Amino acid sequence: MRFMDLVKVSPEGVLDLNEVSRTLGVRKRRVYDITNVLDGIHLIQKRSKNLIQWVGSDIKGITIRTPEHQKLRDELYDLTEMEEALDELIKDSAHQLYDLTDDKEMARLAYVTYQDIRSIQTFQEQIVIAIKAPEETKMEVPVPKQ
């Protein structure tokens, strides 16, 4: 990837292949191998025998993969996998909840006790009012004044 670093820092993406060979410490034949491949896929064009110019996409946007980048990519992959698993669990839970509430016999047996609500940590320091009402019921609660 060191060749690409030279392309990135060169003015207008123009490189002298003799300088590239010296800078990278490789035989000129290796540099020609690289440029022949890049020319074949139309990322560079030859300006003269020893000069090439980058004509591909914005060279500044091409990044070098460092161990840190790879670690972040791996972490992103792991997080994506976890998100998909959580989405699946949420979907399954919603489906199970729908099955419970859609069944009239199950709905008749579904209830919450005072102790159930009090055991929820979030409600410990809150005023909780439970109301049993038909599904289409609308309720407005004004914001309390200090």
Sketch the domain layout of the chain as residue ranges.
Answer: 2-61, 67-105
**pTM for this model (two decimals):** 0.40
> CATH number of the domain at 2-61, out of 1.10.10.10, 3.20.20.30, 3.40.50.1820, 2.60.40.10?
1.10.10.10
Contacts for 58-66: CB closer than 8 Å, 24+ residues apart: 59/4, 59/7, 59/8, 59/13, 60/8, 62/4, 62/8, 64/1, 64/4, 64/5, 65/1
pLDDT tens, the chain, 146 aa long:
488 888 888 888 888 888 888 888 888 888 888 888 888 888 888 888 888 888 887 665 555 567 887 888 888 888 989 999 999 999 999 888 888 778 777 777 777 888 888 888 888 888 888 888 888 899 888 888 86
